Amino acid sequence: MDLTTIAVTRLKGVGPKQAEKLKRLKITSLQDVLFHLPLRYQDRTRVVAIGNLVPGLEVLTAGAVVSCEQLFRGRRSLQCIIEDRDGSQLSLRFFHFNQKQLQMLRVGSVVRCFGEVRRGPRQLEIVHPEFQIIPRGVDPTAAQVGETSLTPVYPVTEGLHQLSMRKITDAALSHLQTATVEELLPESAQTAVSLKQALITVHRPDPAVEVDALLEGHHPAVQRLAFEELVAHRLSVQQIRTDIKKQAAPVIASEGSVCEQLIASLPFSLTGAQQRVIEEIKQDLTLGIPMLRLVQGDVGSGKTLVAAAAAALVVDAGYQVAVMAPTEILAEQHLLSFSSWFEPLGLKIGWLKGKLGAKQKRDALESIALGQTRIAVGTHALFQQDVVFQNLGLTVVDEQHRFGVHQRLSLREKGVEGGLVPHQLTMTATPIPRTLAMTAYADLDCSIIDELPPGRQAITTVAIPNTRRLEIVERVGAAIAEGRQVYWVCTLIDESETLQANAAEDTLIELKEFLPEARVSLVHGRMHATQKEHAMQQFKEHSTDLLVATTVIEVGVDVPNASLIIIENVERLGLSQLHQLRGRVGRGSQQSSCVLLYEKGLSQRARDRIGILRETNDGFLIAEKDLELRGAGEVLGTRQTGSAQFKIADLMRDKKLLPQVKQMTDEITVRHPQQVVPLISRWLGEESPEYGNV
């Protein structure tokens, strides 16, 4: 029985409406259900004493209700305090509750509950826990009744709950009693754990399974599936690269006079690293096959200028260039840079974003189609259907990890005439660890700008608890009095009941109150684009001294006079993001500083992150550490469409498998080519490449 041909609607309880929800998760067949693997597990098999609870963990705990009252502080809530035999207490907080729950949670009731432990105003708390009342005479810390193994947590979509997903998975697993799932790896890769057994184990762990091994991903069943998934991903990007390299691209062999004029017009000299990378790009452009090059460089290393030099070479040969960035702020920064460099040389720079007026958009599209716009700068609007280039020869994609492998190839369809496809240069200021590049970016040649321009000052980084906030405000006032500019970064726009982060809007009010002489402004992602642009422009022109912002300023802001940045709630951000934010200062010649404000009671992981930032400004070292601490999914930004999202593999955890993965992909490509498409389809589904059309 071929599980790929059995529709998901054959499963009990899956009607047309449920099937539509599953389709959003790319689940249409029984095989899709079986390979829709748990994100993680909840351990409800053991009860943790209240005194041993740690913030951030999901746990099962128990205690007797010692108080239960309704509170009316801004909004109604129910707070129950439970206490265990040792006298340790935990708060259970509910914002939505009914009369039945009030009766169940009366004083004296014994409660067993499950949820995420957080820091509350007075003690640890769980907000909206799942709970059950334990009958009198039953030990609440005894073995869990009913749930004797780990509970899987699946990726779901709106309207599809965990319980439903578990029932659907149960129904699919029952088919494995009469059918088997096809082994697609050659015999040389077979292990003691069969594919069928591995799937059963990860979906429904046996009560005797090694809990820690499964939770940490070292169990043989997890490793069996992770290996196959890594093989499928590597095959996918290799196939993309192979297919693209079969195509023809413009031969760019001009004398490079525009490039020479550009470099001669600069008020500074290129670094040795910039010159080396430009030479690598020049060589690629002469080969007649599509360049696929990734330029990595730390914050402030001069990647944009390298991209401009590549654009100059292509324009000089008579072709057009498209420069695409993931956000309007970053795209606008490129527009300003490219305009200042190229317009004095007589080249027209175009601008295309999602929200343009009808006439502006019509004029921009016409100019691009007629070839009058030699370099078009914009957001993802550049690869929309109504954008037609006359002869596109190069696409430049900035912060490429935000687009993903399939999105970043979309501009190829805008290629030049005569069956040629454009060259592609991608850039990132988020250094990609070598471990990650080997798998997620195997379709790209990599260049590294590993040298900062002369005069750049190392940024001094300090970590200070939020209890010393007033000292920091005074430091900000002193910097402004000296004529310097300051960023103050918050992680939220509005207050949240469940997060302890200070909101940007409240911080704005607070800083205006403490620094009445300072000119303070605000920028965040929910502002209208024109408001955001105005606030950023005012700061660039030094019409404001202090910019309160969310992480929207992570990329694309260049203000050399800004030499101090305060970042709040650093425990909520990853290392690479913190490094990116820190890079907003240190762009001028004066000594710059970064202050990391943190809340008391940091986890060890947060302490490790802060320690690394204080010790080094090396973005590549930081990226490796970030990968170790957070995993590939978060470093890549897997919530972005088209990113290399892994279902079960973890590049840092499984890096020891990578040499075998490379060996296996080579063996499959040469000896078992018929298995390539089924493997990619099994693990990547709709994101697998359409061969011959990539």
β-bridge partners, 465: 598
Predicted pLDDT of residue 252: 93
Distance CA 433, CA 236 (A): 20
Mean pLDDT by 10 residues, the chain (694 residues): 84 92 92 92 86 89 93 84 93 90 91 91 90 82 62 89 92 88 88 91 87 87 95 88 86 85 92 95 94 85 93 95 85 89 94 86 93 92 86 86 55 69 86 63 80 78 92 96 95 53 79 94 81 85 93 70 92 82 84 90 79 85 74 43 65 84 92 94 68 30
Predicted pLDDT of residue 276: 96
Predicted pLDDT of residue 305: 94
Q: Give, as one character, the DSSP assignment of residue 269.
A: P
Distance CA 38, CA 59 (A): 18
Element (H, E) at 479: helix 469-481
Look up the CATH architecture of domain 267-449.
3-Layer(aba) Sandwich (3.40)
For residues 624, 628, 631, 635, the Cα torsion angle rounded to the nearest 10 degrees is -30
Instruction: Find the length of the chain.
Output: 694
Left, alpha or beta for 217 (phi > 0: left; psi -120 to 50: alpha)?
left
Domain range 460-616, its CATH number among 3.20.20.410, 3.40.50.300, 1.10.240.10, 2.40.10.120: 3.40.50.300
50-133 folds as OB fold (Dihydrolipoamide Acetyltransferase, E2P) (2.40.50)
Residue 482: Cβ within 10 Å count = 9
pLDDT tens digits for range 212-225: 888 888 999 999 99
Half-sphere exposure of 173 (CA within 13 A, CB side): 17
As a three-state string, the secondary structure of 592-610 is CEEEEEECCCCCHHHHHHH
β-bridge partners, 87: none
Instruction: Tell me the whole-structure pTM to 2 decimals.
Output: 0.65
As a three-state string, the secondary structure of 288-309 is CCCCEEEEEECCCCCHHHHHHH
Q: Give, as one character, the DSSP assignment of residue 47.
A: B
Predicted pLDDT of residue 557: 63
Both tokens of 288, joined, read 């007649």
